[in-house]
Amino acid sequence: MLKGWELNKAGSSFGAAPGLQRRGIIFDIKRYAVHDGPGIRTTVFLKGCPLDCRWCHNPEAKSGGFELSYKSARCLKCSDCTAVCSQKALSLNDRLHIDRSKCLVCGDCAAVCPTQALEKIGRETTVEEAMKDIEKDSIFFEESGGGVTFSGGEPLMQPRFLEELLRACRRRDIHVCLDTCGQAPWAVIDRIRPLVDIFLYDLKSVNPDLHTKETSVSNALILENLRKLAEAGQPVIIRIPLIPGFNDTPEEIRDMGGFIKGLPGVKEVSLLPFHDIAGDKYLRLDRPSPIHDLNPQPDEEIKINKRRLEDFGLNVTIGS
């Protein structure tokens, strides 16, 4: 069993009903996205991730299950939430405290919170419900050459749900991008790849030791799957999250450039500069922020790394 896949509650315990009734867990839908593939896109975020990247800017996506988030700045200290919690998991003094060992993440407290200071992260949905949400934007897809992008977390962690979503998009002729870290059994990727128009494939490092140290997972399968996709002629755009002190050194960039150059047919690379806006998300989940010591790179450094990759004959853009 791959590391992380044993946590795939959403992919294993959900999805008993086939087709449009199959269920999964999403945690957000972003509309009018312009950096997640061509045209104007709707990005659907699925919960669960097999990696544990130190710089993760979606910590609420890591777990495959529901989570409770608390924004203290919005809290009125009204006690509405403490009154409804059947588990006595909430206490209020200087601020609200959540005893997460007692919390069942039922969401009752979030439902009564007048300011949405409390939020249940994750929503169970059927394929049909998700498609209704996606189709609200179809006019923008047609006019801009856009479509839907499935992201996460790692969407391949809910393989059956994802497959039904992809089939539903194909039936409606909706263009699909799949944003993936590539850490999944090849059999899963091979099964869904005919239903994907473009893979947005995250590449963090080609250095095995560094990758394992910073993401807690080896990159062996990730690189192997990427090579197989390229050899199969699948359209792939490589996305490199540029992390200060991790993969933005000249050596790391050159090693990645050399690796990508060796992938048949892969020419497009998107550099994703680091940003530190996720710090608050960790606090809202009562977790220490692991990125508080990282600072965004100056624009000039990002451009230098772009040129280093272009030296390998790659088409490099700077994303967001």
| Residue from 25, 33, 85, 217 in contact with ligand SF4 (CB under 6 A) | 85
Quote the CA–CA distance of 238 and 272 in Å, as a whole number: 10
CB of 11 to ligand SF4, least distance (A): 23
Quote the CA–CA distance of 229 and 77 in Å, as a whole number: 52
Residue 90 binding ligand SF4, by CB under 6 A? yes
Instruction: Indicate the burial class of 177 (C-beta count within 10 angstroms; 0-12, 13-18, 19 or more).
Output: buried
- Per-residue binding string, ligand SF4, 95-134, x by CB under 6 A, is -x-x----xxxxxxx---xxx-xx----------------
Q: How far is CA 129 from CA 135, 136, 308, in A?
A: 10, 11, 44
Residue 84, helix vs strand vs coil: helix
| Residue from 12, 20, 35, 75 in contact with ligand SF4 (CB under 6 A) | 75
Quote the CA–CA distance of 317 and 210 in Å, as a whole number: 25
CB of 102 to ligand SF4, least distance (A): 7
233: left (phi over 0), alpha (psi -120 to 50) or beta: left
- The site for ligand SF4, by CB under 6 A, has a size of 28
| Residue from 38, 39, 58, 78 in contact with ligand SF4 (CB under 6 A) | 78
| Residue from 77, 97, 167, 275 in contact with ligand SF4 (CB under 6 A) | 77
Quote the CA–CA distance of 54 and 288 in Å, as a whole number: 11
Identify residues 143-162 at the interface with ligand SF4 (CB under 6 A): none
| Residue from 2, 17, 34, 76 in contact with ligand SF4 (CB under 6 A) | 76
Identify residues 170-229 at the interface with ligand SF4 (CB under 6 A): none
Please name the amino acid found at residue 237. Answer: I
Q: How many CB atoms lie within 10 A of CB 262?
A: 11
| Contact indicator for 161, 138 with CB cutoff of 8 Å | no
The stretch near ligand SF4 (CB under 6 A) out of 75-83, 206-214, 244-252, 276-284 is 75-83
Complex with ligand SF4: residue 3 or 9, whichever CB lies closer: 9
| Residue from 25, 46, 53, 81 in contact with ligand SF4 (CB under 6 A) | 81
Quote the CA–CA distance of 177 and 162 in Å, as a whole number: 12
Pull the structure tokens for residue 95: 């601020």
User: Which stretches of the chain bind ligand SF4, using CB under 6 A?
Assistant: 68, 75-81, 84-85, 87, 89-90, 92, 96, 98, 103-109, 113-115, 117-118
